[in-house]
Amino acid sequence: MQTRVQRITPFLWFDHQAEEAAGYYTSIFPDSGIVTVTRYSMEAAEVSERPEGSAMTVVFRLDGQEFIALNGGPFFRFTEAVSFVVNCASQAEVDHYWEKLSAGGDEQAQQCGWLKDRYGVSWQVVPTVLGELLSGPDPEKSRRVMKALLGMEKLVIAELERAAAG
């Protein structure tokens, strides 16, 4: 029996923190873990100027989704142009993921549920109810919810629902 290969896998470039970051992320999400770690051989270390034996790539799963992290050096940095959305079914989930992912990250949280973690990766911690509150036939309700949303860093479901109710 052949194992199904995930068709699209996010690939994250780190300077030297790939293994540490993968361990951190897998400690936060359920159904997560390190799958494999490939280390720099002598030949690869010479070409890349990375320490021989250090982690080159780390394949890991977050909540069943596979990722690959690379220790590629200081050439590229993460930006907000790419982020990962964490869909949350409850305020308890929003609070949990916000607290864990923002710990040690950028002190300036961004509005609308966006944050930057300690490795510079951007995340959006979003309650699943948000889509319902923003959509629908009532444009006034949508405007109230959007106004409330734009005033928040960490999203608070009760406040969004109050805005929707008027």
pTM: 0.91
CATH class of the domain at 1-76: alpha beta
Tens digit of each residue's pLDDT (9 = 90 or more) over 39-97: 999 999 888 889 999 999 999 999 999 999 999 999 999 999 999 999 999 999 999 99
Question: For the purposes of burial, counting CB atoms within 10 Å of the CB of 75, is it exposed (0-12), middle (13-18) or buried (19 or more)?
Answer: exposed
Mean predicted confidence (pLDDT) in 24-53 = 95
Q: How far apart are the first and last CA of the chain?
A: 56
Question: For the purposes of burial, counting CB atoms within 10 Å of the CB of 91, is it exposed (0-12), middle (13-18) or buried (19 or more)?
Answer: middle
Q: Was domain 78-166 assigned CATH 3.20.20.140?
A: no
How much is the pLDDT for 33?
A: 98
For the chain, give every domain's residue range. 1-76, 78-166
Largest Cα–Cα distance of the chain, in whole Å? 65
Containing 127, the helix (H) or strand (E) segment is strand 122-127
